[in-house]
Amino acid sequence: MLKNILITGGAGFIGSNIALKLVSQGRTVTVLDNLTKQIHGEQPEESQLYCSIKDKVHFIRGSVTDRVVFKKALEGQEAVIHLAAETGTGQSMYEIEKYCSTNIGGTALLLDILANKKTSVKKVIVAESRAIYGEGKYECNDCGIVYPLARTEKDMLAGDFRVKCPNCNKPVKLVATDEESKLHPTSVYGITKQMQGQLVHCVCQALGIASVSFRYQNVYGPGQSLKNPYTGILSIFSNSLRQNHDINIFEDGTESRDFVYIDDVADATILAIDNRKCSGLAFNVGTGTSVDVVTVANKLKEFYKSNSQIKVSGNFRLGDIRHNFADITLAKKVLGYEPKYNFERGLAKFCDWVLTQPVEQDNYKKSLDEMKKKGLYK
């Protein structure tokens, strides 16, 4: 069993949950995290996520773009779970340098240190994202399996949000996206996550270090930041609904996602640490089912007994995908992964937790205004 584990971004939502599970297994965990304000708020050392791991892990505050700090964090580590990244598809489309320098640059720095300094690292696990698939896998009645291109602004302005065959331009049927599907991200965020995975697998193979990547679907659950208006629609909607603010549903409301509960994500990731059969592989982590956005909003409204109006606006963000759900066959077969939470059970636990939290300032409209100024929100 690998005992000493470094988690970059380990004070974040996913990282902190993994850290606590590893500590409960008797492993020694080091966390490298910069406690960004967007996730942890104005007083990050008082944030719930940070406090949940404080005094339970060896904590180093710093950036994955700082070579000195990263070298220090790697000392004595046997495995690295590399989660540190800027997240959110919309914001990535106008903060390009920030996303590339952190996501790609931080990963490159990690690998550069491993290539040029003797370490005890035997395995690197990196978080990719479902965003690397772009629109994912579909079936066309005439053309068979296809991987559609990003939808056009012209079609969406006309209210046509359907995904179409890249060959014959006819509407197509969504099917589960497996790990062999075409990688063609439609956002800067997705591009950076694809690069992270490719860099890790390429360099680690050359160095004789085991590598694993995870393509997480839409992760949610207790502890998810309620302060961040750029990512996590369950948190964004919850914050607005608790203040009886109206909910603006993009497109026609039938766009869908594979929502996966945080415990399942943490368990899947930990399964890879000591598994010797998974080196060089990428795994989807989801539930294998999808839920549309209108259903999500209505379930949350009912749970919070909110007076908010749910409005299907027809607005859209350039770079957003229409649908996606994961084929999780490979993770089941190789890792023994089996999601324990369906959406209804996970949502209830999430909402119960939300009601114990203070209501945060609703900055979602501000985030949309930023995109609108950049011409990315219509």
- Look up the CATH number of the domain holding residue 208: 3.40.50.720
The residue among 42 and 60 whose pLDDT is bigger is 60
Note whether residue 201 is domain-resident.
Answer: yes
| Average pLDDT value for residue range 140-155 | 95
pLDDT tens-place string over residues 57-108: 999 999 999 999 999 999 999 999 999 999 888 889 999 999 999 999 999 9
If asked whether residues 170 and 191 sit together in one domain, one would say no
Domain count, the chain: 2
CA distance 318 to 127: 24
Would you call 189 a catalytic residue per the annotation? yes
Domain that holds residue 156: 138-175
pLDDT by residue (tens digit) across 319-368?
A: 789 999 999 999 999 999 999 999 999 999 999 999 999 888 887 777 77
Q: Are 289 and 325 in contact (CB under 8 A)?
A: yes
- Let me know whether 334 and 201 are in one domain: yes
Question: Does residue 166 sit within a domain?
Answer: yes
Does residue 122 sit in the same domain as residue 166?
no
Rounded (to 5) percent helix, strand, coil in the chain: 40, 15, 45
pLDDT mean over 241-253: 93
Q: Which one-letter amino acid corresponds to residue 89?
A: T
Measure Cα distances from 156 to 151, 171, 175 in Å.
7, 14, 22
Residue 87 and residue 104: Cα distance in Å, rounded?
12
Q: Are residues 75 and 106 in the same domain?
A: yes
Task: Give domain status of residue 11, yes or no.
Answer: yes
pLDDT at 359: 86
- Per the model's pLDDT, the better-predicted residue between 45 and 145 turns out to be 145
Does 50 reside within a domain? yes
The residues with which 124 forms a beta bridge, in sequence order, are 80, 211
pLDDT-derived band at 375 (thresholds 50, 70, 90) equals confident
Per-residue confidence (pLDDT) for residue 297, from 0 to 100: 96
> In whole angstroms, what is the distance from residue 297 CA to residue 265 CA?
23
The structure's pTM equals 0.94
Asked if the model's pLDDT at residue 2 lies above 90, the reply is: yes
- The pLDDT value recorded for residue 90 is 83
What's the pLDDT at 82? Answer: 98
Residues 159 and 270 in one domain: no
Residues 206 and 93 in one domain: yes
Is 253 a member of any domain? Answer: no
Residues 133, 189, 304, 377: which is the catalytic one? Answer: 189
Is the domain of 26 the same as that of 155? no
253-270 exposure pattern, b = at least 16 Cβ within 10 A, e = fewer: bebbbbbbbbbbbbbbbb
276-308 pLDDT per residue, tens: 999 999 999 999 999 999 999 999 999 999 999
Region of poorest pLDDT, from 140-144, 168-172, 212-216, 232-236: 232-236
| Mode of pairing for the β-strands spanning 259-261 and 218-220 | parallel
Q: Are residues 142 and 283 in the same domain?
A: no
Query: Domain check: are 102 and 144 in the same one?
Result: no
Question: Is residue 226 pLDDT above 90, yes or no?
Answer: no
98 & 158 share domain: no
Both 21 and 161 in a single domain? no
Is 94 a member of any domain? yes
Q: Report pLDDT digits (tens) over 153-207.
A: 999 999 999 999 999 999 999 999 999 999 999 899 999 999 999 999 999 999 9
Angle between helices 343-354 and 233-242 (to 10 degrees): 50
Separation of alpha carbons 257 and 231, rounded Å? 13
CA distance linking residue 237 with residue 219, whole number of Å: 15
378 found inside a domain? no
Q: 145 — phi, psi (to 5°)?
A: -70, 130
- Kindly state whether residues 144 and 9 are assigned to the same domain: no
Q: How far apart are CA 92 and CA 82, in angstroms?
A: 19
> Is 114 within the bounds of a domain?
yes
